[in-house]
Structure formats: structure tokens, C-alpha cells
Amino acid sequence: MIKKPLTLAAIIALAVLITSCGKREEGGGKAGPAAPPRPAAKPAQKSARPIPAKWAAIAIIIDDMGNNPKELDDVVALPGPVAVAVLPLLRYSADTAKRAEAKGLTVLLHLPMQPEGNPEGLGPGALMSGMSPEDIDNILSGDLASVPGAEGVNNHMGSLLTEDKAAMDAVMSGLESRKLFFVDSLTTAKSEAWRTAEKDGVPFARRDVFLDDSPDEAYIKAQFARLVAIAKRRGIAVAIGHPRPMTMKALKEEIPGLPKQGVRLVNIKDALNSAAPDAGRN
């Protein structure tokens, strides 16, 4: 049997039927008026750099404040929310803490703790091995009084004392009762400080990178790059530096470039309770 070619009217009727069926399947109701033709899609523009789905973050603490009031001016001039850790019972401890708080910086008590070997440079207000819990709490009280506005504590030296679980229990008990957080400077891989903080319910963080063990600018910038790499791998990383001219210079140059790397500088309080199991050992 020879099929007859469709007439023009039949072709038009068939097209209308197909369009009507398509409308019902998509909309689930009666067919409405035909939608106006959509403009051709523009080709996607290439971004100058990819926008990360989840930004990494770094937090920076500047240690050993309280010796020189001019050092705070350099820290305040940094382009971001760094924290300052103030040594207790020094001539400028209270003034530095008050000025830093007035500038919106987070203030920590940089609590001296007994190191292994020579304690030179430990300074006043130190916690020493063999002290009773009462002695530890009394010293902590005096140290905090000399650093007004401190919201947290991190250890100055302490490679010996932070390995002492009983001493750290006493410290964390004092911090928990005062609603303060703790940042473990991790001056020893055997530190019990962050472990006892976690056990006693004290908000804590751990140092990942020391920025300026060497005063060399190239070294400091390499350490900063290492900090950024850790943050990208883990999500967040913590660094400790000092108010030294070369450290301040390097930070002024490196911090503004963080957004281009998908990294932001955050307050140390944003790093609390986010430490990875291998923090400090990178």
C-alpha cells in the first residue's frame, strides 16, 4: 500500500497536538499561550580567579607584648584582626592590654611557664614545677590582674610545665572558672595543655606555625606560605609571631594577598575548638 503524503493542514494540526501535549506534561495543567522565544544564552565569562567553595582561614597571635609601648603601634597597623599576647607584671603590661582592647584587638595573657633547661627570659609571674594548685591559681590571678581585658591565655615557654598533667589541670581549672580560653603554643610535642583544656571544657586552639624563629625575611615569608598551605589543607591554621621589625614588615606585605589565595585572616577566637589531631606537627 502506498502512503499518501501528508497535506499541509495535517502537518500543522500534528504540530499543534505535539506542542499541546508537551505543555501539559511540563506544567501539569491546561496549555497556556506560547512563551516568547528566549534570547540566546551568552557565553560564560571567565573569572579572573576561581572562587573557592569554602574559604580557608588563618589566625595570628603576636607574642611577648608589654615590653615596649611602641610595638603595639606596629601591630595595630597590620591589615587584619591579629591577637596580642601580653606578658604579665611588666612596666607596660596593663597599658598595652588596655590600648590593644581599645583598638579592637583580642588580648591574651602570655602566661610564663617553666621551660626545660635555662629559664632565662621567663620573666615575672611564672608557673613552676612543684607548685600547688592554690599557688598556681594565686599566680594566675595576679598575672591576669596585670593584663586587663584578657579573654584568653597562651603559654610563654613552658616546655617542661606543659608536660605536667597535674599542673595543667590546675591551670585549666582556673581558666574554666574565669571563662577564659587557652591557646597551646606547643613548645613541646608532649604537651598536656591542650589535652587537659579539652577534658576540662576550656575552649582551646593549638599553634601550627612559629613565623619567626629566624629573623630573616625570606624565612618568615616561607613560614607564612606554610601557614597558608596548612589552612588550605585543614580549613584553619594558627600562627605565632613576635613584634619584631622584620616580622611586621613581612605580615604587612603578605596579609593583603590572602583573598587571592582563597584564605581569610580571622580572630583567634574563630579558631577555638577546631584544631586538627596533628596540629603543630607539620
Q: How far is CA 171 from CA 101, 117, 119, 174, 206, in A?
A: 24, 22, 20, 5, 16
pLDDT, tens only, 152-205: 999 999 999 999 999 999 999 999 999 999 999 999 999 999 999 999 999 999
pTM over 0.85: no
pLDDT of residue 38: 41
Residue whose grid cell is 611557664 = 113
Confidence of residue 273 (pLDDT cuts 50, 70, 90): confident
pLDDT, tens only, 217-241: 999 999 999 999 999 999 999 999 9
**Model confidence at 1: pLDDT above 60:** no
**Model confidence at 49: pLDDT above 50:** no
CATH class of the structural domain 56-271? alpha beta
Residue 268 is placed in which grid cell? 583567634
pLDDT of residue 274: 79
**Model confidence at 131: pLDDT above 60:** yes
Cα–Cα distance between 204 and 21 in angstroms, integer?
63
**Residue 240: alpha-carbon gap to chain centroid:** 11
**Model confidence at 47: pLDDT above 90:** no
**Model confidence at 52: pLDDT above 50:** no
Mean pLDDT of 244-258: 98
In the chain, where are the structural domains located?
A: 56-271
Tell me, what amino acid is at 162?
T
Least confident of 7-16, 80-89, 207-216: 7-16
Are the beta carbons of 197 and 165 closer than 8 angstroms? no
Can you name the residues that pair with 210 across neighbouring β-strands?
A: 240
Least confident of 15-29, 120-134, 191-205, 242-256: 15-29
Q: How far is CA 109 from CA 87, 164, 171, 183, 263, in A?
A: 6, 20, 13, 10, 27
Confidence of residue 276 (pLDDT cuts 50, 70, 90): low
Q: What is the DSSP string of 81-114?
A: --EEEEPTTSTTHHHHHHHHHHTT--EEEEEEEP
Cα–Cα distance between 218 and 231 in angstroms, integer?
20
Mean pLDDT of the chain: 85
**Model confidence at 29: pLDDT above 90:** no
